C-alpha cells in the first residue's frame, strides 16, 4: 500500500462512521451526511456501486436461500420449502436455517476477500416465502410453507431466527419474508393483477405469517409483491408498508421491491404515468430498495418536486443501518460471524442434516396391506418413471449446486442387498409429446412393462418437476406463466401407471412435486404411495430409507390435496371461502395435516386447565400419546380449535398447536399446549380482532377431526369443550 493510500485509509478510520464504539444511529447519520444526492440514490438500487472516496465498497443486495444458499456455487441443498413444512418440525427448521446462514457467511467472506462482490454473494437474503398457498395451481406454492397461517408462521419465524442469528449486536444475515402481501398467483398476471380481499381475510389469512416473522422473528427486511392489493401497488402501498408494517407492527428495517415491481406501477398497473412518479410514490410510502432500475429516476423526481432529499435520506439510512448491523464497516475480529471457516460449506455434518430433513418431510399417503417397508433382499426390483434418475426433481427452484446429489434410483441401488437385481427404465417422458418421426408418447411403455413383469415389486417414480411448475418465465410445460392448468398426474404418466398396475404385481408409487396432485385413481388402485416433494440433495437416500424401513415416515401434508379443480373457486378469486381446510366443505382426496406411519399411536387423558375461562385468559391443553405399534416412530400431535358460537363466519377449524414427538414401542409422553386469547379471537367484518364469550371445542390427535382424516388414518381424535365468559374483548391483532 503506497503512502497516499495509507493516509487515505487513516483519514477514513478517523471519521465517526468508522468508529465501532459510537452509537449505531450516530454512525449511520454521519455516513449518509457525507454523500451527495446522486450517491444516495445509487445506494437505493439492488446493485449499489461503491463510493471509493468514503471507503464504501460496492454491494449487491440480491441473494437467495429458500432451502440452501442458492445461485452461488456448491452448497448444501435441503428439501424445497414445502417439503420442509411437511416435517412439522420447528426445531429442525431452525437448525436448517442456522446451517444455511453458516454457509452464507463463510461463502460471503471468502468471496469478499477475493474482491468478488457480485450478485448472490452478499448477506441480505430474499427468503423465506411466507405467502399462503391458497390454490394448488400456483407454480410458486412450492416455495411456501403451505396453506395454513399458523404452520406458516411457526416455520417462518424459525427460519428467520436461524438466518439472522442471536448475537446481541450483529445480524448474521438479513432475512426477507416475501411477497408482502396477498400474493399467490396467477403468475401470468402478477405484474398487473389487483388482489381484492376483505379486511377479514386480509388479517385472518394473508397477514399473520408476515406479522409473526417481523414481530416475533425480528426480520430486518420485507419484500413487497408485484401485484396490487385492493387497488394499491404493494411496493407503494401506504396501507401495507406504512400503516400496518411500520405503524402497527413497529417494523424498523427496510423494504425491498420485487424485481421489476416499481416499473409495473406505471407500465402495467397504470397507477402512475412516469418512472419519476412511480419511484417517488414507492419511496414516500416506504419502499427503500429497488430491485430494478427505476430508482435512477429519483433525481428527476427531486427536480420535479415529487420527493425531497430528506425523504430519500430516510430510505438510505435504513439501508445503511442494515449494513452496519451486518458488521460491514467494523473490524472482522469484532464480528463473530466473520470467523466462520469456509470449510463448513457442504461439510459432512450439513449433508447429514439435509438427509434428516428429507426423511422427516416424506409423507406416507397409503400403505394397504403393509406392503411397506419392503424387504431389501427381494430378488428383483423394478424402478420405473421419468423422475427416478432426475436431479431436477431433487432441487425444485431457487437452489444451490449440490456436490453429491442422490437420485431415487441411486438411493435404492445403494440400499438393497447385493443379491437383489435392480432394473431401471424411465418408461415415459414427464409429459406426452406430439408424435413425430414415429415417436409416440408411449414409446417407453414396452420396456417398462417388460421390466415390471420380471420384478417382485415395482417402484414407480412419477409426478411433477420444476419443468412443470414454477415462476413466471421459467416453466415451459405449464400455462405459460408457471402455474398448472390441471392438478392431475400428467396423462402419459397416468397411462404408464395404469399399464404397470394392470400386470397385477405389487406397486409402490413415489410422487415428486411441490404442490398437490389429484391422484384419485392411484389411491384406489395402488397399495402404497409416498409423497417425496422436491427432497433436496439427499432425496434418494431418504426415499430408500423410508421404502426399506430404515426410517419410519411421519411427514404431514401442509396443504390440502383436492380431488379435482372442480372443488375450487376461480384461481383469481382471493376470497378464502371454499379454500384450504379452514373453509373447504367438500371432501378432499387427502386432508391438510394427514400422513401415515409404520406404527400406530393412541391418545388418552385429554385435559384442559379449566372448563371455563375469563375473556383474555390462556387455556392449557394436555394429552398423553402412546406408541401402540411395534416399531419406533414420530407422531405429530395436532391441536385444532373450533368456535361453536361465533357471530361471524370463521374457519371451520384452525390449527393452534402441534408437536412432533418420537416414541419407542409402548412408550408414552404427555404433551402440553397453550391456546392464547389471540387464537380464540375472531376477525370481524371490520378487520378487528375480538374475543367473544361463548363455547369452544378443542380437538387433539394425529390428524384433523374431520371425517376424511379419520377414515384415512383409522385414528381417534380426542375433543373437549370449554367456555369463555365475560364481555367481548378486543385483543391485539
CATH architecture, domain defined by 3-16+24-76+119-344: Alpha-Beta Barrel (3.20)
Choosing from 148, 204, 469, 684, the catalytic residue is 469
Burial of 602 (0-12, 13-18, 19+ CB in 10 A): middle
User: Strands (DSSP E) along 198-237, which ranges?
Assistant: 221-223, 228-229, 232-233
SS3 content of the chain, % helix, strand, coil (to 5): 35, 20, 45
What is the rounded distance in angstroms from the CA atom of residue 269 to the CA atom of residue 182? 16
What pLDDT does residue 438 have? 59
Q: Rounded CA gap, 515 and 367, in Å?
A: 21
ω into residue 184 within 30 of 0, thus cis? no
Q: What is d(CA 134, CA 183) in angstroms, rounded to the nearest whole number?
A: 10
CA dihedral 30, 34, 39, 41 (to 10 degrees): 50
Q: Using an 8 Å Cβ cutoff, are 426 and 171 in contact? A: no
Could you tell me if 579 and 617 are in contact, meaning their C-beta atoms sit under 8 angstroms apart?
Answer: no
- Select which of 103, 258, 471, 483 is catalytic: 258
φ, ψ of residue 661 in degrees (nearest 5): -125, 145
- pLDDT at residue 17, as a whole number: 97
- For residue 85, which of 102, 69, 67 has the smallest C-alpha distance? 67
Q: What is the spatial distance between Cα 333 and Cα 323, in angstroms, rounded to a whole number?
A: 17
Alpha carbon distance 386, 406 (integer Å): 15
Whole-number pLDDT of residue 1? 35
Contact call for residues 507 and 165 (beta carbons, < 8 A): no
For the chain, how far is it from start to end, CA to CA, in angstroms? Answer: 57
Write out the three cell numbers for 143.
Answer: 416455495
Q: For the chain of 733 residues, list the mean pLDDT of each consecutive stretch of 10.
A: 46 91 98 98 98 97 98 98 98 98 98 97 98 97 98 98 98 98 96 97 98 98 98 98 98 98 98 98 98 98 98 98 98 96 98 98 97 96 98 98 98 96 96 68 94 98 96 67 92 97 98 98 98 98 98 98 97 97 97 98 97 96 98 98 96 98 98 97 93 97 94 92 96 87
| 405: Cα separation from own chain's centroid | 21
3-state secondary structure of 611: coil
* CA angle in degrees (0–180, nearest 5) for 381-384-389: 105
469 catalytic per annotation = yes
φ and ψ of 730, to 5 deg: -80, 125
Is 313 considered catalytic here?
A: no
CATH architecture of 353-559: 3-Layer(aba) Sandwich (3.40)
Domain range annotation of the chain: 3-16+24-76+119-344, 353-559, 601-730
601-730 folds as Immunoglobulin-like (2.60.40)
Measured in degrees and rounded to the nearest 5, phi and psi for residue 406 equal -115, 110
At 486, list the grid cell.
Answer: 390441471
Angle between helices 90-113 and 348-361 (to 10 degrees): 140
Instruction: Please give the pLDDT value at position 472.
Output: 85
Backbone angles phi, psi at 93, to 5 degrees: -60, -40
Which residue blocks in 213-308 are alpha helix, DSSP H? Answer: 261-267, 275-284, 298-303
Residue with cell 384419485: 520
- State the pTM of this model: 0.97
Q: Name residue, grid cell 417407453.
A: 444
What is the edge-to-edge ordering of all strands in the sheet holding 507-512?
363-367, 528-533, 507-512, 457-463, 380-384, 421-425
Amino acid at each position: 500500500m503506497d503512502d497516499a493510500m495509507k493516509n487515505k485509509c487513516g483519514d477514513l478510520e478517523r471519521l465517526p462512521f468508522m468508529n465501532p464504539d459510537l452509537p449505531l444511529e450516530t454512525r449511520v447519520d454521519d455516513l449518509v451526511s457525507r454523500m451527495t444526492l446522486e450517491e444516495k440514490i445509487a445506494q437505493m438500487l439492488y446493485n449499489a456501486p461503491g463510493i471509493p472516496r468514503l471507503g464504501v465498497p460496492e454491494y449487491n443486495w440480491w441473494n437467495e436461500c429458500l432451502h440452501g444458499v442458492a445461485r452461488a456455487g456448491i452448497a448444501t441443498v435441503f428439501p424445497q420449502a414445502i417439503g420442509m413444512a411437511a416435517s412439522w418440525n420447528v426445531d429442525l427448521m431452525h437448525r436448517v436455517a442456522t446451517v444455511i446462514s453458516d454457509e452464507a457467511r463463510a461463502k460471503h467472506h471468502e468471496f469478499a476477500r477475493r474482491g468478488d462482490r457480485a450478485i448472490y454473494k452478499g448477506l441480505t437474503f430474499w427468503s423465506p416465502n411466507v405467502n399462503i398457498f391458497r390454490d394448488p395451481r400456483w407454480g410458486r406454492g412450492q416455495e411456501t410453507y403451505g396453506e395454513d397461517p399458523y404452520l406458516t408462521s411457526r416455520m417462518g419465524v424459525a427460519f428467520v431466527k436461524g438466518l439472522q442469528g442471536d448475537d446481541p449486536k450483529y445480524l448474521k444475515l438479513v432475512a426477507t419474508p416475501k411477497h408482502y402481501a396477498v400474493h399467490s398467483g396467477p403468475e401470468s398476471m402478477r405484474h398487473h393483477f389487483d388482489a381484492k380481499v376483505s379486511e377479514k381475510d386480509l388479517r385472518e389469512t394473508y397477514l399473520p405469517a408476515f406479522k409473526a416473522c417481523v414481530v416475533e422473528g425480528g426480520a430486518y427486511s420485507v419484500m413487497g409483491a408485484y401485484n396490487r392489493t385492493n387497488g394499491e401497488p404493494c411496493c407503494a402501498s401506504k396501507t401495507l408498508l406504512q400503516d400496518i408494517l411500520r405503524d402497527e407492527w413497529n417494523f424498523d428495517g427496510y423494504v425491498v421491491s420485487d424485481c421489476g415491481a416499481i416499473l409495473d406501477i406505471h407500465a402495467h398497473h397504470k397507477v402512475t404515468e412516469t418512472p419519476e412518479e412511480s419511484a417517488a410514490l414507492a419511496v414516500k410510502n416506504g419502499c427503500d430498495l429497488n430491485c430494478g432500475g427505476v430508482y435512477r429516476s429519483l433525481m428527476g423526481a427531486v427536480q420535479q418536486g415529487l420527493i425531497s432529499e430528506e425523504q430519500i435520506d430516510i430510505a438510505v439510512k435504513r439501508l445503511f443501518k442494515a449494513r452496519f448491523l451486518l458488521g460491514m464497516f467494523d473490524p472482522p475480529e469484532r464480528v463473530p460471524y466473520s470467523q466462520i471457516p469456509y470449510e463448513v460449506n457442504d461439510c459432512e455434518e450439513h449433508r447429514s442434516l439435509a438427509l434428516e430433513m428429507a426423511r422427516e418431510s416424506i409423507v406416507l399417503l397409503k400403505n394397504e396391506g403393509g406392503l411397506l417397508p419392503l424387504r431389501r433382499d427381494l430378488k428383483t426390483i423394478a424402478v420405473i418413471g421419468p423422475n427416478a434418475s432426475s436431479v431436477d426433481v431433487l432441487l425444485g427452484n431457487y437452489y444451490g449446486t449440490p456436490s453429491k446429489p442422490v437420485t431415487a434410483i441411486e438411493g435404492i441401488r445403494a440400499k438393497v442387498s447385493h443379491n437383489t437385481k435392480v432394473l431401471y427404465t424411465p418408461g415415459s417422458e414427464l409429459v406426452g409429446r406430439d408424435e413425430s418421426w414415429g415417436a409416440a408418447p408411449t414409446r417407453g411403455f414396452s420396456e417398462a412393462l417388460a421390466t415390471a413383469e420380471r420384478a417382485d415389486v415395482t417402484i414407480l417414480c412419477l409426478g411433477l418437476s420444476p419443468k412443470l411448475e414454477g415462476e413466471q418465465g421459467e416453466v415451459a410445460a405449464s400455462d405459460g406463466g408457471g402455474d398448472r392448468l390441471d392438478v392431475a398426474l400428467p396423462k402419459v404418466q397416468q397411462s404408464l401407471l395404469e399399464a404397470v398396475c394392470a400386470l397385477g404385481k405389487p406397486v409402490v408409487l413415489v410422487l415428486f412435486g411441490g404442490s398437490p396432485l389429484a391422484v384419485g385413481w392411484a389411491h384406489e388402485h395402488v397399495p402404497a404411495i409416498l409423497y417425496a416433494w422436491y427432497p433436496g440433495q439427499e432425496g434418494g437416500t431418504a426415499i430408500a430409507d423410508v421404502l426399506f424401513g430404515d426410517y419410519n415416515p411421519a411427514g404431514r401434508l401442509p396443504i390440502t390435496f383436492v380431488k379435482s379443480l372442480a372443488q375450487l373457486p376461480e384461481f383469481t378469486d382471493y376470497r378464502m371461502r371454499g379454500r384450504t381446510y379452514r373453509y373447504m366443505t367438500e371432501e378432499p382426496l387427502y386432508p391438510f395435516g394427514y400422513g401415515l406411519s409404520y406404527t400406530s399411536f393412541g391418545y388418552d387423558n385429554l385435559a384442559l386447565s379449566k372448563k371455563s375461562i375469563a375473556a383474555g385468559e390462556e387455556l392449557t391443553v394436555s394429552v398423553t400419546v402412546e406408541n401402540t405399534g411395534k416399531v419406533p416412530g414420530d407422531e405429530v400431535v395436532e391441536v385444532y380449535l373450533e368456535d361453536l358460537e361465533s357471530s361471524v363466519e370463521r374457519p371451520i377449524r384452525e390449527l393452534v398447536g402441534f408437536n412432533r414427538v418420537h416414541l419407542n414401542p409402548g412408550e408414552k409422553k404427555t404433551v402440553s399446549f397453550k391456546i392464547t386469547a389471540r387464537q380464540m379471537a375472531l376477525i370481524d367484518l371490520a378487520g378487528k380482532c375480538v374475543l367473544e364469550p361463548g363455547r369452544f371445542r378443542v380437538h387433539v390427535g394425529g390428524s384433523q377431526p374431520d371425517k376424511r382424516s379419520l377414515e384415512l388414518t383409522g385414528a381417534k381424535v380426542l375433543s373437549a369443550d370449554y367456555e369463555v365468559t365475560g364481555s367481548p374483548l378486543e385483543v391485539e391483532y
